């Protein structure tokens, strides 16, 4: 997976409330310093967005179907994105400016669309959800809430929005994706065993191909021809068998070159998108107990038998989330997402360096304010009673 896809998928999957739950920001953990070479002098008399980006929380950074996205929301996601890049990849923000802007725009628009769809589909937050939301926001008291707002530069409205994201998602999911039938689940999750005869050296180094993918080095043509002939012989034996399932296990254990066989002696359970495309397409066409023809993939020649998933019901939730993902992808593709000059002209590296420095210093201030001052040692008593002095100090 590319860095870009990893960053975006992480943010889309995260419940963003996690990084707001503590007073410290996602950028304040130990990581390579995002600061420029010169030292940043933090001015805590200004709010964090004014200091780091010269913006107000209410300034518009982009619009989604005409709806404005405020600076505090976009910049919050941008800061999380930058933090992930620096902490997980030890990378420099300045090397990924365009990507970070784009990914953060995608994440922000995604969540805004969920909120808009709640209204459009008639599934806004319920009274129970709103009550629960407020209880969560104030679970540690007003002072903690105010600190979280300040250190992330968020307005009350944006704080509510970020904490409500999971509700928006669940409400839209419930309004648009019904429980799946067994037929639908069987086209989403499948159990297979396979016999693999490799046509590549999986111990070799993968190299970049003309189509932009990476591939293992191919074996020589004579060896590949031998593998194909062996696959044809194995398939012929299976076709002639009265009990192909039992014979399949026997031949699989004897001939398969799948390195994962020892850990998966009963085969693999996979959902859509997990296996290479030729394998997945062939597997889903099989009836239970059916044996495929020879299937060629980037790894070699496969012969596949499809088994029945023991408990389909456990995949209902993931099927619904998969369908929801496809639905939201389409909404995103259809959405009119426009950026403003405030976003286009934003210096991402400078913003994040200042944002991070501000949060670190403000955290230190909060910590100092929360730490009780050490009490002064009592003066020795005039009587010189050492036992009395020690008793006062301990007490």
Say yes or no: 14 and 158 in one domain.
yes
CATH number of the domain encompassing residue 257 = 3.10.50.40
pLDDT digits (tens, 9 = 90+) for 292-342: 999 999 999 999 999 999 999 999 999 999 999 999 999 999 999 999 999
pLDDT digits (tens, 9 = 90+) for 276-286: 999 999 999 99
Vertex 214: Cα angle to 209 and 217 (nearest 5): 80
Domain assignment of residue 395, yes or no: no
Say yes or no: 229 and 99 in one domain.
no
Say yes or no: 267 and 325 in one domain.
no
Say yes or no: 16 and 132 in one domain.
yes
Q: Quick one: tokens of 2?
A: 């590319």
Domain assignment of residue 130, yes or no: yes
Residue finishing a domain among 271, 296, 312: 312
Domain assignment of residue 356, yes or no: yes
Residue finishing a domain among 263, 282, 312: 312
Domain assignment of residue 384, yes or no: no
- Side-chain half-sphere of 238: how many Cα atoms within 13 Å? 26
CA distances to 253, 256, 283, 293, 294 from 303, rounded to whole Å, are 13, 10, 10, 6, 5
Tell me the H-state helices in the chain: 3-13, 17-20, 48-53, 71-89, 97-120, 127-137, 142-152, 156-176, 182-186, 221-240, 244-255, 277-285, 316-334, 341-344, 348-370, 386-394
Instruction: State the residue range of the domain holding 298.
Output: 183-312
Say yes or no: 277 and 349 in one domain.
no
Say yes or no: 343 and 256 in one domain.
no
Vertex 353: Cα angle to 351 and 354 (nearest 5): 65
Say yes or no: 36 and 130 in one domain.
yes
Domain assignment of residue 381, yes or no: no
Predicted model pTM: 0.79
The rounded percent of the chain whose pLDDT value lies above 70 is 85
Going by C-beta distance under 8 Å and a sequence separation of 6 or more, which residues neighbour residue 3? 85, 89, 91, 96, 99
- Side-chain half-sphere of 392: how many Cα atoms within 13 Å? 11
pLDDT on residue 92: 94
Say yes or no: 173 and 191 in one domain.
no
pLDDT on residue 61: 98
Domain assignment of residue 95, yes or no: yes
CB 248 within 8 A of CB 265: no
What is the DSSP code (8-state) at residue 200?
A: B
pLDDT digits (tens, 9 = 90+) for 196-248: 999 999 999 999 888 888 999 999 999 999 999 999 999 999 999 999 999 99
Q: Is the pLDDT of residue 26 over 50?
A: no
CB 38 within 8 A of CB 320: no
Say yes or no: 205 and 305 in one domain.
yes
Say yes or no: 341 and 226 in one domain.
no
Domain assignment of residue 393, yes or no: no
Please name which of 287, 292, 288 lies closest in space to residue 308, comparing C-alpha atoms: 288
Say yes or no: 81 and 117 in one domain.
yes
The rounded percent of the chain whose pLDDT value lies above 90 is 82
Overall number of domains in the chain: 2
Say yes or no: 258 and 337 in one domain.
no
pLDDT digits (tens, 9 = 90+) for 138-169: 999 999 999 999 999 999 999 999 999 999 99
d(CA 135, CA 387): 51
Domain assignment of residue 394, yes or no: no
Q: Three-state DSSP class for 339?
A: strand
pLDDT digits (tens, 9 = 90+) for 351-394: 999 999 999 999 999 999 988 866 655 544 434 443 333 333 33
């Amino acid at each position: 997976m590319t860095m870009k896809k990893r960053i975006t998928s992480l943010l889309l999957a995260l419940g963003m409330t996690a990084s707001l739950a503590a007073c410290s920001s996602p950028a304040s953990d130990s990581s390579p310093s995002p600061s420029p070479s010169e030292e940043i002098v933090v001015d805590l008399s200004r709010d964090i967005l004014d200091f780091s980006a010269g913006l107000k929380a209410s300034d518009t950074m982009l619009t989604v179907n005409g709806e404005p996205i405020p600076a505090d929301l976009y910049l919050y996601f941008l800061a999380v994105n930058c933090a992930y890049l620096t902490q997980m990849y030890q990378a420099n923000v300045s090397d990924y400016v365009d990507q970070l802007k784009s990914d953060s725009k995608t994440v922000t628009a995604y969540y805004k669309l969920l909120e808009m769809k709640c209204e459009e589909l008639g599934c806004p937050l319920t009274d129970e959800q709103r009550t629960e939301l407020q209880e969560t926001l104030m679970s540690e008291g007003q002072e903690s809430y105010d600190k979280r707002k300040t250190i992330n530069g968020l307005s009350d409205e944006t704080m509510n929005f970020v904490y409500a994201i999971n509700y928006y998602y669940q409400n839209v999911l419930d309004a648009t994706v019904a429980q799946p039938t067994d037929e639908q689940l069987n086209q989403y999750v499948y159990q297979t065993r396979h016999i693999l005869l490799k046509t590549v050296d999986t111990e070799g180094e993968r190299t970049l191909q003309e189509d932009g993918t990476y591939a293992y080095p191919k074996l020589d043509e004579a060896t590949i021809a031998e593998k194909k002939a062996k696959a044809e012989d194995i398939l012929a034996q299976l076709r002639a068998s009265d009990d192909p399932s039992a014979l399949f296990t026997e031949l699989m254990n004897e001939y398969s070159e799948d390195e994962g066989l020892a850990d998966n002696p009963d085969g693999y359970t996979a959902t859509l998108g997990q296996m290479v495309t030729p394998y997945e397409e062939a597997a889903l066409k099989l009836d239970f107990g059916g044996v495929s023809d020879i299937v060629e993939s980037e790894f070699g020649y496969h012969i596949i038998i499809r088994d029945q998933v023991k408990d389909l019901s456990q995949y209902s939730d993931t099927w619904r989330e998969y369908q929801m993902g496809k639905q939201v992808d389409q909404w995103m593709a259809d959405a009119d997402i426009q950026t403003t000059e405030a976003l286009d002209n934003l210096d991402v590296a400078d913003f994040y360096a200042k944002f991070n420095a501000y949060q670190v210093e403000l955290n230190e201030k909060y910590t100092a304010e929360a730490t009780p001052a050490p009490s002064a040692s009592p003066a020795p008593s005039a009587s010189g009673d050492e036992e009395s002095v020690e008793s006062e100090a301990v007490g």
